[in-house]
Amino acid sequence: MRQRRAVRSAAAVLAVFLASATAWGAETPAPGGAVYEMEVMGVQADPQSGAPMVFLRGKQDKRELGMFIGPFEAQAIALPLQGIRPPRPYTHDLMLDALHRLKAKVKRVVITSLRDNTYFADLILDVQGQDMRLDSRPSDAIALALRDDAPILAMEAAFARSPQPSAPDGGERPKP
C-alpha cells in the first residue's frame, strides 16, 4: 500500500515536471551550428588534478570532447559502460524507471555549449509521442542516455576550449 502511494506520488511529481518542460520539436534546429553524434569513450581521472573526466569522441569525424565531472557522476557513467547493473537502483536508474512507467523515454542528449567553464546540455524525452526538452547537466544526461541506449550529440559550440589532457600513463584515452 505504501509502495503504491509512493510510486503514484513520484509519478505525479514527474508528470508535473515533464508537463512543465519546454517542448522542442524534433525538426526544430537547435542554435549553435553543426551537430556531431558522439560516443562515450570512457571515464578516467585527470592526471594533473585527479578530477574525474568523461571523454566523448565523434562517431564520424573523431573530434574529442573531455568534460570534468563529479565522482558520483563518473560512477553513474562508468557502470553502464562496463555492463554493470547495481543490485539496487541508483538515482539515474530510478529516474529512468519512473520515465518508462510514465511511457516516456530518452530520445537523445544534446551537449549545447560551454560557457564560463560549464557545459550545458538538453535532455530530449519522447513523452507519449511528444518531444520534451529539459535543461540538464551533461553528466546526468549522458548517464541516462547510456541506460536508455539513446544517441548523444554535441553542438559545435560545445567544442570551444574543451579540456584535452593526455592519459595518466601517456597512452591513449579510455576505451569504451
Express each pLDDT in 93-121 by its tens digit. Answer: 999 999 999 999 999 999 999 999 899 99
Task: Name the domain count of the chain.
Answer: 1
Confirm whether 42 is domain-assigned: yes
In the chain, what percentage of residues exceed pLDDT 90?
A: 69
- Write out pLDDT tens, residues 115-165: 998 999 999 999 999 999 999 999 999 999 999 999 999 999 998 765 555
pTM: 0.78
167 within a domain of the structure (yes/no): no
> Domain for residue 19, yes or no?
yes
**For the purposes of burial, counting CB atoms within 10 Å of the CB of 92, is it exposed (0-12), middle (13-18) or buried (19 or more)?**
buried
CATH of the domain at 73: 3.10.690.10
Question: Is 174 among the domain residues?
Answer: no
Q: What percent of the chain has pLDDT over 70?
A: 73
**Any domain includes 101:** yes
Retrieve residue 88's grid coordinates. 539496487
Residue 173 lies in a domain: no
**172 in any annotated domain:** no
Domain that holds residue 19: 2-159
> Helix axis angle, 91-101 relative to 138-148, nearest 10°?
60
pLDDT of residue 146: 98
Pairing of strands 52-58, 35-45: antiparallel
pLDDT at residue 31, rounded to an integer: 56
Q: Each residue of 35-84: pLDDT tens digit?
A: 999 999 999 999 999 999 999 999 999 999 999 999 999 999 999 999 99
Q: Which has the higher per-residue pLDDT, 80 or 11? A: 80
pLDDT the model gives residue 33? 79
